[in-house]
Structure 1
Amino acid sequence: MKQKIVIKVAMYHDKCRSKALKIAVGGSGVESAALTGEGKDQVEVVGDGIDSVKLTRRLRKKVARAELVSVAEAKPAESKADDAPAPPPVMGFLPPPCYGLPQNYHCCEVVEPMYGSPCTIL
C-alpha cells in the first residue's frame, strides 16, 4: 500500500532543505520526496512500507525540529494526457555541440612544458 507522509521541519535556509530531502530520499521504500507548504517547510514523502516515526526521528536528529503532520494512503494521479491526443513531433534546428563557442576552440588539447613547470612558487 502506497502512503503519503507529510512532515513539518524547521528549515531556515537552503542547506537545511537539501539535507532534509537527502535524508527523506535515503529511506527504504521511498519513491519520491518533495518540499511543500507555504515556506517550503514541509517534506512530503510518497512510497511503500515507509516507517513514518523512524523518518521523523531521523529528521529531528540530523536537521532540526520535526513534526509528523499526516500519514495517508497515496491516491494515484489522474492524468488527462491519456484522453487528449499527443501533439505531433516538432522538427526543428538542432544547434551544433559547441554552439556559441569560436570555431577554433579545442577543449581536449593539453600542452605540457618541455623543462618542467613554469611555476616558481612550488
Structure 2
Amino acid sequence: MCQKTTLQAVRHVNAVFWRLSYLSTPFSSVINCPQHHRLHHAKNEAYHDCNYGGILIVWDRWFGTFRDFQPGVAPVYGTLTPVLSTNPLKQGIMGWVHLLQKVGKAPGLLNKLKCLWLPPGWTPSKTA
C-alpha cells in the first residue's frame, strides 16, 4: 500500500513539473525545460550551438548561449555532419577526432587554442 502511494506521489510531482516547465514562469527561466532542450538538438542556424545547461538553463543565460523558440522557425533535428557509423563508441569519439584534426591543421598556437575555445563553426582564415 505504501509503495503504491509513493508511486502516485512521484507521478503527481512529475506531472506538475512538466506542466510548469511548458509555461512561461520563473520556473522555466531557471530550469532546463523540454522546450529548451529540444532546441539544443536542432541543427538550424538559429538554434545551433545553444542551450547546454543540463539542469539549470540559467548558465546559458549568463554565458550568452541561451536561445528561445522563434515563431516561424521550426527546429530541424540532427547533426551537422552525417553519422556514418552505427557503432555508439565510434559515434562518441568521432567528434573528438574531428576537433583534434582541426587543431592539428590550425596555424600557430593562438589559432589552435581558438579551435578549442570558440564555437564549432569557427575556422582559422588560412585553413578555411
Tell me the TM-score normalised to structure 1 length.
Answer: 0.22
The answer to which structure has the higher helix fraction is: 2
**Structure of higher RCO (CA pairs closer than 8 Å, 6+ residues apart):** 1
TM-score, normalised relative to structure 2? 0.21
